[in-house]
Amino acid sequence: MTFGILGSGSWGTAIAKILTDNGNTIYWWNRSEAHIKYIQEQHHNPQYLSTAFLDTKKLKLTTNLAEVIKNSDCVVMVIPSAYTDLVFHQLDRNIFVGKKIISAIKGILPEQNLLLNQYLKKEFNVELSNYFTVLGPCHAEEVAAEKLSYLTFSGIDEKTTHDISICFKTNYLNIIQNNDIYGVQFAAVLKNIYAIGSGIAHGLNYGDNFLSVFIANCADEMAGFLKKAGIKNIEVGHTDIRNPAEEHRSNNYAASVYLGDLLVTCYSLHSRNRAFGNMIGKGYSVNEVELKMSMVAEGYNATKCIHQINEKILADMPIADMIYQILWNNKSVAEEFSRIEQRLV
């Protein structure tokens, strides 16, 4: 199984490290010839995760996007969702025929309010049976430091999902498997929104007591949206073990890919969405924050996307709506948080 990686940011670099550490030779797309040369000579990405050592004997680096896709059985997509359509519009409609697509994108395409699988079906006729996700609480910085992390692989083809997942298994990475493609993607989008809210609260000097209640309510709100959207794996405290000899419980939204990713994104100093929100809470405008940050905060566009999607789903989402009003309608940060205080339970 040959892998190709589209995206050379922090998470793309971390995935390149994971796959090569596990003995896989990969094709890796990078926009910059200068960066490719640096990686080949210095064994590090000069711009992202510069401390992560890369085994260049297992890297086939190129600026040719189509070449990576053509030479790969599995294409791992790690391009920020806001730029996905811009990057892919140049590609032939049939380029993904026969390929397995693995999404590591924790976002939603903002122009069309589509998850990546929906976009690929619409533009490239990629079937859901050939689409997989790799998500969970897995900051790239900790992967680079080889601190134990967990990734959840989702796909409707159980065997292929398993075969893909074991290619990522290392001594610092545990793998989990489920078939909840839509649920894990929506959860990944929502947790970025709530992490911005957590950051705003921190910037406003709320304490840990408030944040714990705030994030607990975010988890409940996320579960409500998922349930209204037709996602079934959201029952907290419910264990449906099919075989008593099995080691793992069935997956629900309280598992690592749902609640775990929400918690780490809201609390961790590595979280760019939390950092984005923290600056908003301290009084910076959205434009000022975007200029200061060198990485994309997926939650910013996601607030607008989820707001528009929820106009049809009609889930009760006062926290997500509050964050949308602050970021897109220039509502007062202090006033909006004062109002939401009364809604938390």
Q: What is the pLDDT of residues 87-131, one digit of tens each?
A: 998 899 999 999 999 999 988 998 889 999 999 999 999 999 999
165 and 233, same domain (yes or no): no
103 and 244, same domain (yes or no): no
172 and 188, same domain (yes or no): no
* Unique residue bearing structure tokens 């490719």: 36
* Selection from 62, 63, 42, 65 nearest residue 54 by Cα: 42
Domain boundary among 128, 150, 179: 179
* Unique residue bearing structure tokens 């049939």: 94
Structure confidence at residue 46 (pLDDT)? 87
Helix (H, G, I), strand (E, B) or coil at 338: helix
Amino acid at 30: N
* Unique residue bearing structure tokens 């607990």: 216
Whether 153 and 161 have beta carbons less than 8 Å apart is answered as yes
Indicate which CATH number applies to the domain containing 300: 1.10.1040.10
Sign of CA dihedral 88, 93, 98, 103: positive
Work out the pLDDT band at 241, boundaries 50, 70, 90: low
Structure confidence at residue 90 (pLDDT)? 85
197 and 307, same domain (yes or no): yes
Structure confidence at residue 250 (pLDDT)? 61
55 and 139, same domain (yes or no): yes
Element (H, E) at 74: strand 74-77
What whole-number distance in Å separates Cα of residue 74 and Cα of residue 91?
A: 17
Sign of CA dihedral 117, 11, 35, 297: positive
Q: Average pLDDT, stretch 52-73?
A: 94
Neighbouring C-beta atoms of residue 84, cutoff 10 Å: 25
Rounded (10°) CA dihedral 111, 31, 88, 265: -50
Per-residue pLDDT reduced to its tens digit, 245-294:
555 556 566 678 889 999 999 999 889 999 999 999 999 999 899 888 86
230 and 114, same domain (yes or no): no
Domain boundary among 123, 157, 179: 179
CA atoms within 13 A on the CB side of 84: 27
**Longest pairwise C-alpha distance within the chain:** 57
Number of domains in the chain: 2
165 and 246, same domain (yes or no): no
11 and 120, same domain (yes or no): yes
Average pLDDT score over the chain: 91
Sign of CA dihedral 143, 149, 152, 158: positive
Domain boundary among 129, 146, 179: 179
Per-residue pLDDT reduced to its tens digit, 280-297:
999 999 989 988 886 678
Q: Which residue has the higher pLDDT, 251 or 41?
A: 41
pLDDT at 237 over 80: no
| pTM (2 d.p.) | 0.91
111 and 194, same domain (yes or no): no
CA atoms within 13 A on the CB side of 137: 21
Give the C-alpha distances (Å, rounded to integers) separating 273 from 35, 51, 53, 81, 227. 26, 22, 26, 14, 24
Residues in the chain, total: 345
Give the C-alpha distances (Å, rounded to integers) separating 297 from 195, 203, 294. 10, 16, 10
Strand partners, 100: 74
Q: Are strands 149-154 and 131-135 parallel, antiparallel or unpaired?
A: antiparallel
Q: Average pLDDT, stretch 125-140?
A: 94
What whole-number distance in Å separates Cα of residue 100 and Cα of residue 120?
A: 12
Q: Average pLDDT, stretch 293-315?
A: 90
* Selection from 344, 297, 291 nearest residue 193 by Cα: 297
Structure confidence at residue 111 (pLDDT)? 83
Per-residue pLDDT reduced to its tens digit, 143-172:
889 999 999 999 999 999 999 999 999 999
287 and 170, same domain (yes or no): no
Catalytic residue among 17, 100, 106, 191: 191
Q: What is the DSSP letter of 114?
A: B
Indicate which CATH number applies to the domain containing 57: 3.40.50.720
Per-residue pLDDT reduced to its tens digit, 76-87:
999 989 899 999
pLDDT at 242 over 60: no
Structure confidence at residue 50 (pLDDT)? 86
Q: Average pLDDT, stretch 205-232?
A: 94
Q: Is 191 a catalytic residue?
A: yes
Give the phi and the psi of residue 240 in degrees, each rounded to 5: -120, 85
164 and 260, same domain (yes or no): no
pLDDT at 186 over 70: yes
132 and 61, same domain (yes or no): yes
Structure confidence at residue 234 (pLDDT)? 65
Domain region containing 303: 183-341
Structure tokens at 285: 């405008």
* Selection from 177, 106, 179 nearest residue 137 by Cα: 106
Q: At what angle do helices 318-328 and 181-203 cross, to 10 degrees?
A: 60
Whether 3 and 36 have beta carbons less than 8 Å apart is answered as no
pLDDT at 232 over 90: no
